Amino acid sequence: MTRRYFGTDGIRGSVGQFPITPDFMLKLGWASGRVFARQCSGGSHCTVIIGKDTRVSGYMFESALEAGLVAAGVDVKLLGPMPTPAVAHMTRKQNAEAGIVISASHNAFYDNGIKFFGPDGSKLPDEIELAIEDELDKDITTVGSRDIGKVVRVEDAAGRYTEFCKSTVPEGFNLRGLRIAVDCAHGATYHIAPSVLRELGAEVFAMGVEPDGFNINEGVGSTDIAALAQMVQEKGADVGIAYDGDGDRVLMVDNHGDVMDGDELLYIIAMHRLATGKSDAGVVGTQMSNLGLELALRAEGLQFSRAQVGDRNVKAMMEANGWVLGGESSGHIICSDVTTTGDGIVASLQVLMALKAAEGNIAGLRAGIKMFPQTMINVAANGRVDLAAHPEIADAVSGVEERLGERGRVLLRPSGTEPKVRVMVEGEDEGEVESLCSELAACVERALA
């Protein structure tokens, strides 16, 4: 069956435009509540956790989802502003049937979306998403008054999650002696990440920690890292950490202000685990992962597999291979021996363990990986795109691949979260890569016009 609403990472779009509307969210809460209620046994109410990031529309959608869920006979626990991975964690710890996150991740405040987690803290399987879509076709009905769900607010959710994050490093580990700049994107980590780092002993310089409902991801966070790089240099910090709006991604900058993307962070974590005897046979990346990461890992005797873009696909391949480490160049890193989903704070602590072991020598941690120049251009699309329906695009891709040879790659893929086609070219020569990517993007633009 073809999904009508669920995309690569839940349901996302512009606020006020279908389906990101209050009436749809009411129906979605009811439809998902009906599906989740069927999973419960013993005749008792099942419980659904709801968390959100800091964008202003979250209040509106939280209320709508809450109303739909209780009308379906489901109890609700509200977490308030919390990182996406915190909702996954709390779903497991509260023995809830599901967790719902109201967030559009790295998008601007005028977008919003919904993500679901199952009782194990992992993204919902396809059959559950399809079952929810099937219920959306039905008219809303309300359970009898005695069966209507109840709603409570979990007052200490942030404290619980802070303690969990600290528990993911070995007992006795500390960050004393490290000066860390942290950018929380005015998003869901604003009240947690600085506390975690300080309580582990670091000297912390925080920015992006004053959300007002409208400034999430605006000039800050992992999508706009220049301000953090400047802070690192001004404060003489050892490292800078940037999260995205919902806290499931992380990028870093070194002490010189140079950016380290998800591929480099994944490499650093993998090498630290290899050095401490905790390594698996391999690491999972995606089609977007830099060729330099693959070559660097293979040089150390580790296997590397590429999944389709999206954390669900990375997690599925990790499970299929029996590996516990995987991630995306965007900074979505999964350490499944520690938690169930991509977690920016947890991933950053994994990198900081490597940094502390290296006595702050970031250059040494990065020495074994040579990143290939990679250029990506987003081409606007009008709705969903079938690239296979445009043979001129396939011809252009073949031409670029022939010119690059074995030391380069080309990737075209429609975005799962935005109406765009992502055009990526990678190779050894930066000028050639930029030129070829521009040529290919122009071809795609003409074909889709």
* Residues with active-site annotation: 105
Phi, psi at 51, each rounded to 5°: -125, 170
Torsion of CA 77, 83, 85, 87, to 10 degrees: 0
Closest CA to 424 of 226, 239, 288, 221: 288
Phi, psi at 80, each rounded to 5°: 75, -160
Phi, psi at 182, each rounded to 5°: -135, 135
252: which 2 tokens?
Answer: 């870093």
Closest CA to 345 of 161, 170, 205: 161
Within 10 Å of residue 95's Cβ, how many Cβ atoms? 9
409: which 2 tokens?
Answer: 């790659």
What distances in angstroms separate CA 347 from CA 166, 300, 327, 377, one per listed residue?
A: 12, 21, 10, 27
Closest CA to 248 of 384, 429, 89, 11: 89
Closest CA to 84 of 161, 21, 182: 161
Distance (Å, whole) CA 86 – CA 345: 10
Burial per residue of 307-316, b for 16 or more beta-carbon CB atoms within 10 angstroms, e otherwise: bebbbbbbbb
Question: What are residue 333's DSSP bridge partners?
Answer: 327
8: which 2 tokens?
Answer: 């690569």
Distance (Å, whole) CA 77 – CA 378: 39
Structural contact between residues 226 and 333, judged by C-beta atoms closer than 8 angstroms: no
Q: Is 79 exposed, middle or buried (0-12, 13-18, 19+ CB in 10 A)?
A: buried
Summarize the chain as % helix, strand, coil (round to 5): 40, 20, 40
Helix/strand/coil for 10: strand
137: which 2 tokens?
Answer: 């076709």
Distance (Å, whole) CA 424 – CA 426: 7
Within 10 Å of residue 381's Cβ, how many Cβ atoms? 17
